Amino acid sequence: MRGPHNILRLIRTGATLERTGAMGVVLDAFDAPKPLRMAARLLGWPFKWLGYNGDPTTPAAPRALTALGPAYIKFGQVLSTRPDVVGDTMAAQLRVLQDKLPPFSVTEAKAMVESELGIDVDSVFSEFSEPVAAASIAQVHKAKLAQTGETVAVKVLRPNIEKDFRKDIDAFYFAAGMIEGLSPSSRRLRPKDVITHFEGVVKGELDLRLESAAASEYAANTKNDPGFQLPEVKWELSGRRVMTLGWAEGLPLGDNAALDAAGHDRVALSERVLQLFLQHALRDGYFHADMHQGNLKVAPNGDIIALDFGIMGHIDEYTRRVYAEILYGFIRRDYKRVAEVHFEAGYVPEDRDVDEFARALRAVGEPIFGMDATRISMGRLLSYLFEVTERFGMETRTELILLQRTMVVVEGVARSLNPKMNIWNVAQPIVEDYIKTSIGPRAFAKDLGKTAMVLARFGPRLPGLVEQVLIAQAQTQPEAKSHPLRTAILWTLVGALIGGGAVAAFEAFF
Protein backbone atom coordinates (compact mmCIF):
# COMPACT_ATOMS: atom_id res chain seq x y z
CA MET A 1 0.00 0.00 0.00
CA ARG A 2 1.34 3.40 -0.99
CA GLY A 3 0.75 5.12 2.33
CA PRO A 4 2.73 7.17 4.85
CA HIS A 5 4.26 4.00 6.30
CA ASN A 6 6.67 4.23 3.37
CA ILE A 7 8.27 7.23 5.06
CA LEU A 8 9.97 4.71 7.36
CA ARG A 9 11.31 2.84 4.34
CA LEU A 10 12.79 6.02 2.86
CA ILE A 11 14.25 7.12 6.19
CA ARG A 12 15.75 3.67 6.55
CA THR A 13 17.38 4.07 3.14
CA GLY A 14 19.19 7.20 4.27
CA ALA A 15 19.95 5.65 7.66
CA THR A 16 21.45 2.56 6.01
CA LEU A 17 23.69 4.68 3.79
CA GLU A 18 24.83 6.54 6.91
CA ARG A 19 25.29 3.46 9.11
CA THR A 20 27.30 1.53 6.53
CA GLY A 21 29.47 4.54 5.74
CA ALA A 22 28.15 4.66 2.17
CA MET A 23 26.62 8.15 2.45
CA GLY A 24 29.93 9.99 2.22
CA VAL A 25 31.27 7.61 -0.42
CA VAL A 26 28.22 8.12 -2.64
CA LEU A 27 28.22 11.91 -2.21
CA ASP A 28 31.93 12.05 -3.05
CA ALA A 29 31.48 9.81 -6.10
CA PHE A 30 28.81 12.12 -7.51
CA ASP A 31 30.74 15.24 -6.48
CA ALA A 32 27.60 16.44 -4.70
CA PRO A 33 27.37 20.18 -3.89
CA LYS A 34 27.71 21.31 -0.28
CA PRO A 35 23.96 22.06 0.31
CA LEU A 36 23.03 18.56 -0.83
CA ARG A 37 25.69 17.01 1.39
CA MET A 38 24.38 18.91 4.41
CA ALA A 39 20.76 17.95 3.70
CA ALA A 40 21.65 14.28 3.22
CA ARG A 41 23.62 14.15 6.45
CA LEU A 42 20.88 15.93 8.42
CA LEU A 43 18.28 13.44 7.16
CA GLY A 44 20.46 10.37 7.62
CA TRP A 45 22.50 10.91 10.78
CA PRO A 46 19.67 11.25 13.41
CA PHE A 47 18.12 7.97 12.19
CA LYS A 48 21.37 6.07 11.80
CA TRP A 49 20.24 3.50 14.38
CA LEU A 50 17.32 2.52 12.07
CA GLY A 51 19.63 1.58 9.21
CA TYR A 52 20.54 -1.95 8.19
CA ASN A 53 24.07 -2.99 9.10
CA GLY A 54 24.75 -5.17 6.07
CA ASP A 55 27.83 -7.33 5.60
CA PRO A 56 30.76 -5.51 7.27
CA THR A 57 33.27 -7.48 5.16
CA THR A 58 32.16 -5.73 1.95
CA PRO A 59 32.89 -2.14 0.85
CA ALA A 60 30.44 0.53 2.00
CA ALA A 61 28.40 1.13 -1.17
CA PRO A 62 27.66 -2.50 -2.14
CA ARG A 63 27.15 -3.27 1.56
CA ALA A 64 24.39 -0.65 1.81
CA LEU A 65 22.67 -1.48 -1.48
CA THR A 66 22.70 -5.23 -0.78
CA ALA A 67 21.18 -4.65 2.66
CA LEU A 68 18.43 -2.44 1.21
CA GLY A 69 17.19 -5.04 -1.25
CA PRO A 70 16.87 -6.05 -4.92
CA ALA A 71 15.59 -2.76 -6.36
CA TYR A 72 18.56 -0.90 -4.88
CA ILE A 73 20.89 -3.61 -6.15
CA LYS A 74 19.57 -3.00 -9.67
CA PHE A 75 20.51 0.66 -9.32
CA GLY A 76 24.01 -0.32 -8.17
CA GLN A 77 24.41 -2.62 -11.16
CA VAL A 78 23.86 0.32 -13.52
CA LEU A 79 26.39 2.48 -11.66
CA SER A 80 28.96 -0.33 -11.76
CA THR A 81 29.25 0.17 -15.53
CA ARG A 82 29.98 3.90 -15.22
CA PRO A 83 33.48 4.48 -13.78
CA ASP A 84 33.43 7.83 -15.62
CA VAL A 85 30.48 8.88 -13.43
CA VAL A 86 31.24 7.29 -10.04
CA GLY A 87 34.99 6.74 -10.35
CA ASP A 88 37.03 3.59 -10.98
CA THR A 89 37.17 2.53 -7.34
CA MET A 90 33.44 2.60 -6.68
CA ALA A 91 32.64 1.03 -10.06
CA ALA A 92 34.93 -1.89 -9.23
CA GLN A 93 33.33 -2.26 -5.78
CA LEU A 94 29.81 -2.21 -7.20
CA ARG A 95 30.64 -4.86 -9.80
CA VAL A 96 30.11 -7.56 -7.16
CA LEU A 97 26.40 -6.69 -7.37
CA GLN A 98 26.24 -8.10 -10.90
CA ASP A 99 26.63 -11.78 -10.07
CA LYS A 100 28.43 -12.19 -6.73
CA LEU A 101 25.68 -11.59 -4.16
CA PRO A 102 25.09 -13.91 -1.17
CA PRO A 103 23.42 -17.08 -2.51
CA PHE A 104 20.66 -19.19 -1.01
CA SER A 105 21.27 -22.87 -0.36
CA VAL A 106 21.39 -25.55 -3.03
CA THR A 107 18.81 -27.50 -0.98
CA GLU A 108 16.32 -24.63 -1.35
CA ALA A 109 17.10 -24.38 -5.05
CA LYS A 110 16.50 -28.10 -5.66
CA ALA A 111 13.23 -27.97 -3.71
CA MET A 112 12.06 -25.05 -5.84
CA VAL A 113 12.98 -26.86 -9.09
CA GLU A 114 11.08 -29.97 -7.99
CA SER A 115 8.04 -27.94 -6.92
CA GLU A 116 7.96 -25.82 -10.10
CA LEU A 117 8.64 -28.55 -12.69
CA GLY A 118 7.19 -31.56 -10.91
CA ILE A 119 10.35 -33.61 -11.35
CA ASP A 120 12.87 -35.48 -9.21
CA VAL A 121 16.03 -33.38 -9.48
CA ASP A 122 18.41 -36.26 -8.80
CA SER A 123 16.79 -38.35 -11.57
CA VAL A 124 16.81 -35.62 -14.24
CA PHE A 125 20.24 -34.18 -13.37
CA SER A 126 23.27 -36.38 -12.77
CA GLU A 127 25.07 -33.32 -11.32
CA PHE A 128 23.67 -30.15 -9.70
CA SER A 129 26.31 -27.73 -8.39
CA GLU A 130 26.41 -25.11 -5.71
CA PRO A 131 25.50 -21.63 -7.04
CA VAL A 132 27.99 -20.41 -9.64
CA ALA A 133 26.44 -16.90 -9.84
CA ALA A 134 24.00 -15.08 -7.59
CA ALA A 135 22.34 -11.81 -8.65
CA SER A 136 19.50 -9.64 -7.36
CA ILE A 137 16.64 -11.69 -8.84
CA ALA A 138 17.93 -15.25 -9.14
CA GLN A 139 20.96 -17.49 -8.94
CA VAL A 140 22.43 -19.99 -11.39
CA HIS A 141 23.55 -23.59 -10.88
CA LYS A 142 25.68 -25.66 -13.26
CA ALA A 143 24.08 -29.04 -13.89
CA LYS A 144 24.38 -32.06 -16.17
CA LEU A 145 21.42 -33.82 -17.81
CA ALA A 146 21.34 -37.48 -16.82
CA GLN A 147 19.86 -38.62 -20.13
CA THR A 148 22.23 -36.87 -22.58
CA GLY A 149 25.20 -35.76 -20.47
CA GLU A 150 24.77 -32.17 -21.72
CA THR A 151 25.92 -29.40 -19.37
CA VAL A 152 23.23 -26.82 -18.66
CA ALA A 153 22.63 -23.71 -16.54
CA VAL A 154 19.63 -23.83 -14.19
CA LYS A 155 18.36 -20.41 -13.11
CA VAL A 156 16.18 -20.27 -9.99
CA LEU A 157 14.38 -17.23 -8.55
CA ARG A 158 15.28 -16.12 -5.04
CA PRO A 159 12.80 -17.10 -2.31
CA ASN A 160 10.27 -14.30 -1.54
CA ILE A 161 11.74 -12.10 -4.28
CA GLU A 162 8.27 -10.99 -5.44
CA LYS A 163 7.39 -9.72 -1.98
CA ASP A 164 10.71 -7.90 -1.58
CA PHE A 165 10.34 -6.10 -4.89
CA ARG A 166 6.74 -5.09 -4.16
CA LYS A 167 7.93 -3.48 -0.92
CA ASP A 168 10.62 -1.47 -2.70
CA ILE A 169 8.35 -0.43 -5.58
CA ASP A 170 5.75 0.69 -3.04
CA ALA A 171 8.29 2.99 -1.38
CA PHE A 172 9.47 4.31 -4.75
CA TYR A 173 5.91 5.30 -5.69
CA PHE A 174 5.55 7.11 -2.39
CA ALA A 175 8.83 8.94 -2.95
CA ALA A 176 7.75 9.91 -6.49
CA GLY A 177 4.50 11.31 -5.13
CA MET A 178 6.38 13.34 -2.52
CA ILE A 179 8.77 14.70 -5.13
CA GLU A 180 5.90 15.80 -7.38
CA GLY A 181 4.10 17.38 -4.44
CA LEU A 182 7.09 19.25 -3.04
CA SER A 183 8.62 20.23 -6.38
CA PRO A 184 6.02 20.99 -9.08
CA SER A 185 8.82 21.62 -11.60
CA SER A 186 9.79 17.94 -11.32
CA ARG A 187 6.46 16.84 -12.82
CA ARG A 188 7.78 17.29 -16.34
CA LEU A 189 10.13 14.37 -15.55
CA ARG A 190 7.04 12.25 -14.72
CA PRO A 191 8.59 10.38 -11.78
CA LYS A 192 5.44 8.29 -11.21
CA ASP A 193 5.41 7.19 -14.84
CA VAL A 194 9.07 6.27 -14.56
CA ILE A 195 8.34 4.07 -11.54
CA THR A 196 5.36 2.52 -13.35
CA HIS A 197 7.66 1.68 -16.24
CA PHE A 198 10.26 0.19 -13.86
CA GLU A 199 7.53 -1.85 -12.16
CA GLY A 200 6.43 -3.31 -15.49
CA VAL A 201 10.00 -4.27 -16.34
CA VAL A 202 10.52 -5.93 -12.96
CA LYS A 203 7.26 -7.90 -13.17
CA GLY A 204 8.42 -9.36 -16.47
CA GLU A 205 11.75 -10.30 -14.94
CA LEU A 206 10.03 -12.19 -12.11
CA ASP A 207 8.35 -14.66 -14.52
CA LEU A 208 11.00 -16.89 -16.08
CA ARG A 209 8.52 -18.17 -18.68
CA LEU A 210 8.57 -14.69 -20.18
CA GLU A 211 12.36 -14.66 -20.04
CA SER A 212 12.47 -17.98 -21.90
CA ALA A 213 10.21 -16.54 -24.61
CA ALA A 214 12.37 -13.41 -24.79
CA ALA A 215 15.53 -15.49 -25.19
CA SER A 216 13.91 -17.48 -27.98
CA GLU A 217 12.78 -14.37 -29.89
CA TYR A 218 16.16 -12.69 -29.40
CA ALA A 219 17.94 -15.79 -30.72
CA ALA A 220 15.73 -15.84 -33.83
CA ASN A 221 16.50 -12.18 -34.55
CA THR A 222 20.26 -12.45 -34.07
CA LYS A 223 21.07 -15.93 -35.40
CA ASN A 224 23.06 -14.51 -38.32
CA ASP A 225 24.97 -11.84 -36.38
CA PRO A 226 28.73 -12.56 -36.56
CA GLY A 227 30.63 -12.63 -33.29
CA PHE A 228 27.51 -13.12 -31.16
CA GLN A 229 26.10 -16.18 -29.37
CA LEU A 230 23.09 -17.02 -27.19
CA PRO A 231 22.51 -20.19 -25.13
CA GLU A 232 19.58 -22.40 -26.15
CA VAL A 233 16.46 -22.51 -23.97
CA LYS A 234 15.46 -25.98 -22.67
CA TRP A 235 11.70 -25.48 -22.67
CA GLU A 236 10.85 -28.83 -21.08
CA LEU A 237 12.88 -27.85 -18.00
CA SER A 238 11.67 -24.26 -17.67
CA GLY A 239 8.72 -22.68 -15.84
CA ARG A 240 7.67 -19.56 -13.94
CA ARG A 241 10.39 -19.77 -11.28
CA VAL A 242 12.94 -22.00 -13.05
CA MET A 243 14.71 -21.61 -16.39
CA THR A 244 17.18 -24.04 -17.97
CA LEU A 245 19.58 -23.09 -20.78
CA GLY A 246 22.56 -24.58 -22.52
CA TRP A 247 25.81 -23.88 -20.69
CA ALA A 248 27.83 -20.95 -22.07
CA GLU A 249 31.58 -21.36 -21.60
CA GLY A 250 33.59 -18.15 -21.59
CA LEU A 251 35.40 -15.42 -19.68
CA PRO A 252 33.51 -12.59 -17.94
CA LEU A 253 33.54 -9.48 -20.12
CA GLY A 254 34.45 -7.41 -17.05
CA ASP A 255 37.67 -9.30 -16.28
CA ASN A 256 40.20 -7.34 -18.35
CA ALA A 257 43.20 -9.21 -16.95
CA ALA A 258 41.73 -12.59 -17.95
CA LEU A 259 40.77 -11.28 -21.40
CA ASP A 260 44.31 -9.99 -21.97
CA ALA A 261 45.82 -13.25 -20.76
CA ALA A 262 43.63 -15.20 -23.20
CA GLY A 263 44.75 -12.96 -26.08
CA HIS A 264 41.39 -11.29 -26.78
CA ASP A 265 41.37 -7.88 -28.48
CA ARG A 266 39.64 -5.57 -25.97
CA VAL A 267 39.39 -2.71 -28.47
CA ALA A 268 37.54 -4.95 -30.93
CA LEU A 269 35.30 -6.28 -28.13
CA SER A 270 34.44 -2.75 -26.97
CA GLU A 271 33.37 -1.76 -30.47
CA ARG A 272 31.42 -4.95 -31.07
CA VAL A 273 29.36 -4.78 -27.87
CA LEU A 274 28.24 -1.23 -28.67
CA GLN A 275 27.56 -1.96 -32.33
CA LEU A 276 25.59 -5.12 -31.49
CA PHE A 277 23.35 -3.15 -29.14
CA LEU A 278 22.69 -0.43 -31.74
CA GLN A 279 22.10 -3.03 -34.45
CA HIS A 280 19.53 -4.87 -32.37
CA ALA A 281 17.80 -1.68 -31.22
CA LEU A 282 17.60 -0.08 -34.67
CA ARG A 283 17.30 -3.07 -37.00
CA ASP A 284 15.07 -5.29 -34.84
CA GLY A 285 13.52 -2.87 -32.37
CA TYR A 286 14.18 -5.59 -29.77
CA PHE A 287 17.30 -5.42 -27.63
CA HIS A 288 18.92 -6.78 -24.47
CA ALA A 289 18.24 -4.07 -21.88
CA ASP A 290 20.50 -5.33 -19.07
CA MET A 291 23.88 -5.56 -20.80
CA HIS A 292 26.21 -5.09 -17.83
CA GLN A 293 29.41 -7.14 -17.51
CA GLY A 294 27.74 -9.77 -15.33
CA ASN A 295 25.46 -10.73 -18.24
CA LEU A 296 28.17 -10.88 -20.91
CA LYS A 297 30.91 -13.43 -21.58
CA VAL A 298 33.60 -13.88 -24.21
CA ALA A 299 33.75 -17.33 -25.80
CA PRO A 300 37.13 -18.98 -26.52
CA ASN A 301 36.72 -18.02 -30.21
CA GLY A 302 36.17 -14.34 -29.29
CA ASP A 303 32.39 -14.27 -29.72
CA ILE A 304 30.35 -12.22 -27.24
CA ILE A 305 27.80 -14.34 -25.34
CA ALA A 306 24.75 -12.64 -23.82
CA LEU A 307 22.98 -14.05 -20.77
CA ASP A 308 19.97 -13.14 -18.61
CA PHE A 309 17.02 -12.06 -20.76
CA GLY A 310 14.71 -10.86 -18.00
CA ILE A 311 14.82 -7.24 -19.18
CA MET A 312 14.37 -6.78 -22.92
CA GLY A 313 13.54 -3.51 -24.66
CA HIS A 314 11.15 -2.90 -27.56
CA ILE A 315 10.78 0.26 -29.65
CA ASP A 316 8.45 0.75 -32.61
CA GLU A 317 9.58 1.61 -36.13
CA TYR A 318 8.69 5.30 -35.90
CA THR A 319 10.63 5.79 -32.65
CA ARG A 320 13.60 3.92 -34.12
CA ARG A 321 13.69 6.33 -37.05
CA VAL A 322 13.52 9.34 -34.75
CA TYR A 323 16.29 7.93 -32.54
CA ALA A 324 18.46 7.11 -35.58
CA GLU A 325 18.04 10.62 -37.01
CA ILE A 326 19.06 12.12 -33.66
CA LEU A 327 22.16 9.91 -33.46
CA TYR A 328 22.99 10.57 -37.11
CA GLY A 329 22.66 14.31 -36.57
CA PHE A 330 25.08 14.18 -33.65
CA ILE A 331 27.52 12.07 -35.67
CA ARG A 332 27.43 14.64 -38.51
CA ARG A 333 27.48 17.47 -35.95
CA ASP A 334 24.32 18.82 -37.58
CA TYR A 335 22.81 20.21 -34.39
CA LYS A 336 20.12 22.16 -36.23
CA ARG A 337 18.75 18.92 -37.68
CA VAL A 338 18.94 17.21 -34.28
CA ALA A 339 16.92 20.07 -32.83
CA GLU A 340 14.37 19.91 -35.67
CA VAL A 341 13.87 16.16 -35.14
CA HIS A 342 13.15 16.78 -31.44
CA PHE A 343 10.49 19.33 -32.38
CA GLU A 344 9.01 17.18 -35.17
CA ALA A 345 8.70 14.22 -32.78
CA GLY A 346 7.04 16.39 -30.13
CA TYR A 347 9.87 15.92 -27.63
CA VAL A 348 10.19 19.70 -27.18
CA PRO A 349 7.17 22.03 -26.81
CA GLU A 350 6.35 23.97 -30.00
CA ASP A 351 6.59 27.36 -28.27
CA ARG A 352 10.37 26.97 -27.72
CA ASP A 353 13.00 28.32 -30.09
CA VAL A 354 14.53 25.66 -32.35
CA ASP A 355 17.73 27.66 -33.00
CA GLU A 356 18.34 28.20 -29.30
CA PHE A 357 17.78 24.49 -28.69
CA ALA A 358 20.27 23.67 -31.45
CA ARG A 359 22.90 25.87 -29.75
CA ALA A 360 22.28 24.09 -26.45
CA LEU A 361 22.77 20.73 -28.19
CA ARG A 362 25.99 21.99 -29.73
CA ALA A 363 27.29 22.68 -26.21
CA VAL A 364 26.52 19.02 -25.42
CA GLY A 365 28.00 17.50 -28.57
CA GLU A 366 31.13 19.51 -29.34
CA PRO A 367 33.11 18.46 -26.23
CA ILE A 368 32.54 14.82 -27.21
CA PHE A 369 34.06 15.35 -30.65
CA GLY A 370 36.78 17.80 -29.65
CA MET A 371 38.19 15.95 -26.67
CA ASP A 372 39.87 12.60 -26.05
CA ALA A 373 37.33 10.14 -24.61
CA THR A 374 39.40 9.68 -21.46
CA ARG A 375 38.97 13.37 -20.62
CA ILE A 376 35.19 13.49 -21.07
CA SER A 377 33.32 13.65 -17.75
CA MET A 378 30.03 11.83 -18.26
CA GLY A 379 28.91 13.11 -14.87
CA ARG A 380 29.23 16.74 -15.97
CA LEU A 381 27.79 15.94 -19.39
CA LEU A 382 24.69 14.29 -17.91
CA SER A 383 24.30 17.20 -15.50
CA TYR A 384 24.32 19.66 -18.39
CA LEU A 385 21.87 17.53 -20.38
CA PHE A 386 19.49 17.65 -17.43
CA GLU A 387 19.78 21.45 -17.38
CA VAL A 388 18.96 21.55 -21.11
CA THR A 389 15.85 19.39 -20.74
CA GLU A 390 14.64 21.57 -17.86
CA ARG A 391 15.27 24.83 -19.73
CA PHE A 392 13.32 23.66 -22.79
CA GLY A 393 10.47 21.99 -20.90
CA MET A 394 11.16 18.48 -22.18
CA GLU A 395 9.15 15.77 -20.47
CA THR A 396 10.48 12.29 -19.71
CA ARG A 397 9.66 9.92 -22.57
CA THR A 398 8.75 6.69 -20.79
CA GLU A 399 8.95 4.72 -24.04
CA LEU A 400 12.63 5.69 -24.29
CA ILE A 401 13.67 5.15 -20.67
CA LEU A 402 14.89 1.59 -21.21
CA LEU A 403 16.69 2.50 -24.43
CA GLN A 404 18.46 5.48 -22.84
CA ARG A 405 19.36 3.55 -19.70
CA THR A 406 20.77 0.65 -21.74
CA MET A 407 22.74 3.03 -23.94
CA VAL A 408 24.39 4.44 -20.81
CA VAL A 409 25.18 0.94 -19.50
CA VAL A 410 26.52 -0.37 -22.81
CA GLU A 411 28.74 2.65 -23.33
CA GLY A 412 30.07 2.12 -19.82
CA VAL A 413 30.82 -1.55 -20.56
CA ALA A 414 32.55 -0.62 -23.82
CA ARG A 415 34.66 2.10 -22.21
CA SER A 416 35.69 -0.26 -19.40
CA LEU A 417 37.25 -2.40 -22.13
CA ASN A 418 38.72 0.55 -24.01
CA PRO A 419 38.75 3.87 -22.09
CA LYS A 420 39.63 5.80 -25.26
CA MET A 421 36.65 4.52 -27.24
CA ASN A 422 34.54 7.28 -28.80
CA ILE A 423 30.90 6.26 -28.92
CA TRP A 424 30.08 8.36 -31.97
CA ASN A 425 32.88 7.00 -34.17
CA VAL A 426 31.91 3.42 -33.32
CA ALA A 427 28.19 4.06 -33.79
CA GLN A 428 28.54 5.77 -37.17
CA PRO A 429 28.54 2.74 -39.54
CA ILE A 430 25.57 1.11 -37.80
CA VAL A 431 23.48 4.29 -37.76
CA GLU A 432 24.39 5.17 -41.36
CA ASP A 433 23.40 1.70 -42.55
CA TYR A 434 20.05 1.99 -40.78
CA ILE A 435 19.46 5.47 -42.21
CA LYS A 436 20.11 4.17 -45.75
CA THR A 437 17.64 1.29 -45.42
CA SER A 438 14.94 2.95 -43.29
CA ILE A 439 14.88 6.64 -44.26
CA GLY A 440 14.84 7.58 -47.93
CA PRO A 441 13.44 6.31 -51.26
CA ARG A 442 13.81 2.60 -50.47
CA ALA A 443 12.08 3.01 -47.12
CA PHE A 444 9.33 5.09 -48.73
CA ALA A 445 8.64 2.34 -51.28
CA LYS A 446 8.62 -0.26 -48.52
CA ASP A 447 6.15 1.78 -46.47
CA LEU A 448 3.89 2.21 -49.50
CA GLY A 449 3.90 -1.56 -49.89
CA LYS A 450 2.94 -2.08 -46.24
CA THR A 451 0.08 0.40 -46.55
CA ALA A 452 -1.12 -1.23 -49.78
CA MET A 453 -1.17 -4.63 -48.06
CA VAL A 454 -3.37 -3.23 -45.27
CA LEU A 455 -5.72 -1.65 -47.81
CA ALA A 456 -5.85 -4.91 -49.77
CA ARG A 457 -6.74 -6.90 -46.68
CA PHE A 458 -9.54 -4.50 -45.80
CA GLY A 459 -10.55 -4.07 -49.47
CA PRO A 460 -13.83 -6.03 -49.40
CA ARG A 461 -14.94 -4.17 -46.27
CA LEU A 462 -13.84 -0.65 -47.27
CA PRO A 463 -17.06 0.48 -49.04
CA GLY A 464 -19.27 -0.53 -46.13
CA LEU A 465 -16.87 0.87 -43.52
CA VAL A 466 -16.55 4.22 -45.30
CA GLU A 467 -20.34 4.40 -45.69
CA GLN A 468 -20.82 3.75 -41.95
CA VAL A 469 -18.31 6.49 -41.08
CA LEU A 470 -19.95 8.94 -43.49
CA ILE A 471 -23.42 8.28 -42.06
CA ALA A 472 -22.20 8.61 -38.47
CA GLN A 473 -20.36 11.84 -39.31
CA ALA A 474 -23.37 13.27 -41.14
CA GLN A 475 -25.57 12.61 -38.11
CA THR A 476 -23.22 14.47 -35.73
CA GLN A 477 -21.82 17.13 -38.09
CA PRO A 478 -24.09 17.55 -41.16
CA GLU A 479 -21.98 20.38 -42.53
CA ALA A 480 -18.81 18.20 -42.68
CA LYS A 481 -19.99 15.15 -44.64
CA SER A 482 -16.78 14.77 -46.63
CA HIS A 483 -14.41 14.86 -43.64
CA PRO A 484 -14.28 11.09 -42.92
CA LEU A 485 -13.30 10.31 -46.49
CA ARG A 486 -10.61 12.95 -46.40
CA THR A 487 -9.46 11.49 -43.05
CA ALA A 488 -9.23 7.99 -44.55
CA ILE A 489 -7.15 9.31 -47.44
CA LEU A 490 -4.95 11.19 -44.99
CA TRP A 491 -4.31 8.01 -42.99
CA THR A 492 -3.28 6.26 -46.19
CA LEU A 493 -0.75 8.98 -47.01
CA VAL A 494 0.60 9.06 -43.47
CA GLY A 495 0.97 5.29 -43.54
CA ALA A 496 2.95 5.55 -46.75
CA LEU A 497 5.22 8.18 -45.23
CA ILE A 498 6.12 6.68 -41.86
CA GLY A 499 5.40 3.00 -42.15
CA GLY A 500 4.65 0.42 -39.47
CA GLY A 501 3.39 2.68 -36.68
CA ALA A 502 0.92 4.50 -38.92
CA VAL A 503 -0.18 1.28 -40.59
CA ALA A 504 -1.26 0.03 -37.17
CA ALA A 505 -3.08 3.30 -36.63
CA PHE A 506 -4.82 2.92 -39.99
CA GLU A 507 -5.96 -0.56 -39.03
CA ALA A 508 -7.26 0.76 -35.72
CA PHE A 509 -9.13 3.58 -37.54
CA PHE A 510 -11.12 1.00 -39.51
Residues serving a catalytic function are 290
- Nearest CA to 143 out of 178, 102, 176, 110 is that of 110
Per the domain annotation, does 237 fall within a domain? no
Q: Rounded to whole angstroms, how far apart are CA atoms 402 and 408?
A: 10
Among the candidates 171, 204, 237, a domain finishes at 204
Domain count, the chain: 4
Q: Which of 404, 435, 466 is the last residue of a domain?
A: 435
- For residues 401 and 283, state if they share a domain: yes
Domain of 487 in residue numbering reads as 441-509
DSSP secondary structure of 97-138 = HHHBSPPPPHHHHHHHHHHHH-S-HHHHEEEEEEEEEE-SSE
Q: Are 174 and 195 in contact (CB under 8 A)?
A: no
Whether this prediction's pTM lies above 0.85 is answered by no
Domain membership of residue 422 (yes or no) is yes
Q: Are 399 and 462 in a shared domain?
A: no
Query: In terms of domains, do 430 and 477 share one?
Result: no
- For residues 172 and 281, membership in a common domain is answered with no
Residue 302 lies in a domain: yes
Nearest to 239 by CA among 321, 143, 383, 119: 119
Cα–Cα distance measured from residue 83 to residue 259, given in angstroms and rounded to the nearest whole number: 19
Asked whether residue 75 is assigned to any structural domain, the reply reads yes
- The distance from CA 394 to its chain's CA centroid, rounded to whole angstroms, is 20
The residues, ordered by sequence, that sit 6+ positions from 313 with a Cβ below 8 Å of its Cβ are 281, 286, 287, 288, 289, 402, 403, 406
> Do 461 and 431 reside in the same domain of the chain?
no
Per-residue model confidence as pLDDT tens for the chain (510 residues): 555 666 777 778 878 888 888 887 777 766 666 766 676 676 667 777 778 888 888 888 888 888 888 778 877 776 776 665 677 778 778 877 766 778 899 999 999 999 999 999 999 999 999 999 888 788 999 999 999 999 999 999 998 888 878 877 877 787 777 666 655 655 655 667 767 766 777 777 789 999 999 999 999 999 999 999 999 999 999 999 999 999 999 999 989 999 999 999 999 999 999 999 999 998 999 999 888 888 899 999 999 999 989 888 888 888 888 888 888 888 788 989 988 988 888 888 888 999 998 998 888 778 766 666 666 655 555 556 656 776 787 766 656 667 777 887 888 889 889 988 887 788 888 888 888 777 666 666 666 776 777 667 666 776 777 777 777 767 766 554 445 444 444 444 444 444 444 444 434 434
